[in-house]
Structure 1
Amino acid sequence: MSSYGNYLNLIALSLFSYEVAGTAFGVGAVMALRLFSGFLAGLVAGGLLARATRRTVMVCTDVAQVTAMAVLAMTASHTPPWLLGCAVVVMGAGNTLFNVSLRSAVPVMVGQEARARANGLLVAARSWATVLGFASAAPVIGFGGYATAFAVNAASFAVSAAALLVLRPRTDDRGAAGGEVPGPSAEQGAGASSRPAAGGRPGLAALGVPALLAGMIALRALDALASSSHNVALPVVADSNGSTDPAVFMTQFWAAWAVGTFLAQQVLRRRTDSSAWGARAFAVGTCAMSISFVLAFTGLPAVALVLASVSAGFADGCTEIVYTSRLQATPDRQRSRLFGLSATAETSGFTVGTVSAAAALEALPALVVVGAFHGVAVCGALVLLALTTVSGGTAPPRSSTSADEGEESHGTRPGAGTVPGA
């Protein structure tokens, strides 16, 4: 529900920002403010979640976003720019903190063995929410204006907060201080590799993150950069496609993509071997996703375009599930900080990519821009594949605790710590 509200809001808030600011620069400034607040939230997420439970943070971010959207709904006819700015800061930071809390809480909620299936369900739900949010934006705004769109968005966050309060899921291990996993295995998970984090220094090196895991986070940032190009270029291609209405074209594209992510969830839920969750699988999936997205911009006929979109969604879903499951294999004490760093890296990549792709599209065809950006992601994936070959490790430990020592020699010992198609 909250993802549906987010994607409905993505369109409604962009159009509303133009109405309030009156210029394209104003719209860009609002988007930059939202992304920057998400970037900062990723940096502080680890420290915040070390002091508060994940469920508390998720409920508080939902309530904050309900408040922000309710205020915009009540002032939609005369919203001052400063109030709009405050709302987008709350939305950007709240979305990042909620996602970091949820992703790092999944192994506690369902157990390490079931985390991949849970991630698949989350990815599939988000994919359909993306399509429904985009498809319903125009009818909702047309029927009741921006106030109705913001009210629907507020209601979606209220449903999410109510579910957390009623269901009361277990989101934190409470066997030791700070939510650390209890027992001797926690000492292994928070041993030598995590001691540098005690000084409070942010960054992958300070958190003792090994090369393969750091490489996966770096590739995730390149993936976000590449994905920004097709998100920016798709409306341009849809508008230039004379045979199809732009809204219909984009809805068909993202609906096919959502089907692909759903198929990925169905396939990966049947994979029980640990090799499915390693850096090598993530790198191969990133290559497949980038190639599929580039093919979708080559002017394919309708049927082939749908197949390319399904293929991109399938690879996108696989990489999302593999990547999230791999980071969740880290010890509970380190997981939140690692997801916070990942969120910062992804936001940075998407921000830089959005600005660069928009500028490049002023002078170059969409295929060239999308091909160049996704080419960077493919190169990064090939580097990670080479790294996995040299290190000889592809899979994470079987759990967040028991296999840490045995995996160290393979370079896969865990360390500390969207937009559609990203």
Structure 2
Amino acid sequence: MFRFRLLVTSYAVSAYGNYLNLIALSLFSYEVTGTAFGIGAVMALRLLAGVVAGPIAGAVGARVGRRGVMIGADAAQATAMAVLAVCGARTPLWVLGCVVVVLGAGNTFFSVALRSAVPVMVGQEGRAHANGLLVTARSLATVLGFASAAPVIAYGGYGTAFAVNAASFVVSGAALLVLRPRTEEESSGESTEPVEPGGFTRAWAGVPALVLGLVALRGTDALASSSHNVALPVVAEIAEASDPALYMSRFWAAWAVGTVLAHQVLKRGGKARGERAFALGTCAMSCSFVLAFTGLPAVALMVAAAAAGFADGWTEIVYTSRLQATGDRERGRLFGLSATAEQAGFALGTVVAAAALESLSPLTVVALFHGVAVCGALALLLASRAGRVDRKTTGLSYTRDEPMCTAPTEEEGTHGTRTGDGRLPGA
């Protein structure tokens, strides 16, 4: 587990660079294009690259190894950011376009490979604990990246911000090269969860329909989340015109605290029921985000943001752990499909939410978008209940209850130097 924690640390460094770059690249895009439309076009291009990369990420990981995919993604993104740091204000528009395509596709390839490899690194029993560590690392990196963006850009310029991001990718890639985590199964195993004949409908290459329902809800949740990401700066300007950045910092800091607490609760004995836990968590998250936009005082706002963060962290851990319970062959394709659904949902939501804010209040927009997510969650709950009733009528006693807190011991972890199936151990 010690080696996996080192990998998590390198992942946190990379995530910090990404969130620092998210702000820096947006501002830099405006400087290069000169229009607000240009910023949107650059962001759309980045998201589109991620959407396109999703369906093929799993197949590439199966062919060249997940660790190789992660190292390649880090190397490509580090090179792209180094080019941007060197070119600076002289960056041609076509170079900026190429860079954001590399960033969008690289992030998807890395994410799919990492999430698919976690069960191999730490074992199936330790996957939820490992996912919690990754969620915690990303949450802290989000806050630090957003908080440090302004001073880094102010004192060092965009070149420094891009160089820091490039260095963060180098740290991540170097950790994978040195630690050599095992990321491939010894052999193609079947799903770790038993599948009863007639238990539920099979679809998409034999994957249970309820699992595909999880992926669909995840995409809907991403669409809903785009609304509060777009609306929050607007609310910050209205609520605290003198210092909107401070308003947003408080919000995201409280959100990050909530995600960390979710991991701590699950680690200390929480249990999850797969689809139901994810659906209920999605409802709680949506309600909390809507509440945060009702004009609450500062303390109540931070409580609502923390509650949203807790539900966000909970659903992330439950969702990822559930998809990781599938067989090694299906896992990569599922996470590729998930990446496509999430980024497509967020991209579509960003465009629609921005247009809706021209005529509707932030609260109305956030409530409408998250209302769609709640409806999707309720539909998944009904489908899950129907599947449970069907299992009872067939006399099967299978249950989805599983401990979500088990941390792998050093003996259980499989993140050593073995290559598993003989290919380069990859992400």
Does the TM-score normalized on the shorter chain lie above 0.5?
yes
User: 2:59 and 2:306 mapped to 1: Cα distance?
Assistant: 39
Aligned to 1:405: none
Q: Percent identity?
A: 68
Q: 1:110 to 1:31 in 2, by over 3 A?
A: same
Contact 1:229 1:370 in 2 (8 A): yes
User: 2:323 and 2:301 mapped to 1: Cα distance?
Assistant: 33
Q: 1:284 to 1:186 in 2, by over 3 A?
A: closer
1:125-136 equivalences in 2 (<5 Å): 125-136=137-148
> Which of 299, 307, 320 is 1:311 aligned to?
307
Q: CA deviation at 1:209?
A: 2.2
Q: Does 1:293 align with 2:289?
A: yes
1:370-409 equivalences in 2 (<5 Å): 370-392=366-388, 396=400
Aligned to 2:181: 169
Q: Write out the 4+ residue segments of structure 1 that deviate beyond 3 Å after TM superposition.
A: 185-193, 393-399
> Which of 360, 365, 373 is 2:361 aligned to?
365
Q: 1:163 to 1:396 in 2, by over 3 A?
A: farther
1:120-164 CA deviation, whole Å, 9 max, x = no partner?
A: 010011001000000000000000100000000001101000110
> Which of 245, 248, 261 is 1:247 aligned to?
245
Q: 1:186 to 1:283 in 2, by over 3 A?
A: closer
Give the SS at the match of 2:206. coil
1:68-119 CA deviation, whole Å, 9 max, x = no partner?
A: 0000000012000000000000000000000000000000000000000000
Give the SS at the match of 1:51. helix
User: 1:321 and 1:51 mapped to 2: Cα distance?
Assistant: 27
Q: 1:338 to 1:397 in 2, by over 3 A?
A: farther
Task: Select the structure with the greater relative contact order (CA < 8 A; seq sep ≥ 6).
Answer: 2
Contact 1:277 1:323 in 2 (8 A): no
> Which of 224, 233, 236 is 2:234 aligned to?
236
Q: 1:299 to 1:55 in 2, by over 3 A?
A: same
Q: 1:335 to 1:72 in 2, by over 3 A?
A: same
Aligned to 2:35: 23
Question: Structure 2: which amino acid aligns with 1:378?
Answer: V
Aligned to 2:412: none
Q: CA RMSD in A?
A: 2.1
Q: CA deviation at 1:208?
A: 2.0
Contact 1:190 1:331 in 2 (8 A): no
User: 2:210 and 2:203 mapped to 1: Cα distance?
Assistant: 13
The total of aligned residue pairs comes to 380
Give the SS at the match of 1:335. helix
Q: CA deviation at 1:333?
A: 1.2
Q: Does 1:77 align with 2:89?
A: yes
Q: CA deviation at 1:293?
A: 0.2
1:4-61 CA deviation, whole Å, 9 max, x = no partner?
A: 0110010000000010011111111111110000001101112111201100000000
User: 2:25 and 2:59 mapped to 1: Cα distance?
Assistant: 30
Q: 1:395 to 1:283 in 2, by over 3 A?
A: farther
1:164-203 equivalences in 2 (<5 Å): 164-173=176-185, 175-176=186-187, 180-181=188-189
Question: Structure 1: which amino acid aligns with 2:306?
Answer: V
Q: 1:349 to 1:169 in 2, by over 3 A?
A: same
Aligned to 1:268: 266
**When the two structures are superposed, what TM-score results if normalisation uses the length of structure 1?**
0.87
Aligned to 2:149: 137
Question: Structure 2: which amino acid aligns with 1:337?
Answer: R
Q: Does 1:51 align with 2:63?
A: yes
Give the SS at the match of 2:100. helix
User: 1:13 and 1:313 mapped to 2: Cα distance?
Assistant: 25
**When the two structures are superposed, what TM-score results if normalisation uses the length of structure 2?**
0.86
Question: Structure 2: which amino acid aligns with 1:375?
Answer: G
Q: CA deviation at 1:232?
A: 0.3
Q: 1:117 to 1:208 in 2, by over 3 A?
A: same
Contact 1:119 1:321 in 2 (8 A): yes
> Which of 47, 52, 69 is 1:35 aligned to?
47
1:169-213 CA deviation, whole Å, 9 max, x = no partner?
A: 11111x34xxx23xxx579989999xxxxxxxxxx9332222211
Aligned to 1:64: 76
Runs (5+) with no aligned partner, structure 1: 194-203, 400-422
Question: Structure 1: which amino acid aligns with 2:367?
Answer: G
User: 1:334 and 1:112 mapped to 2: Cα distance?
Assistant: 15
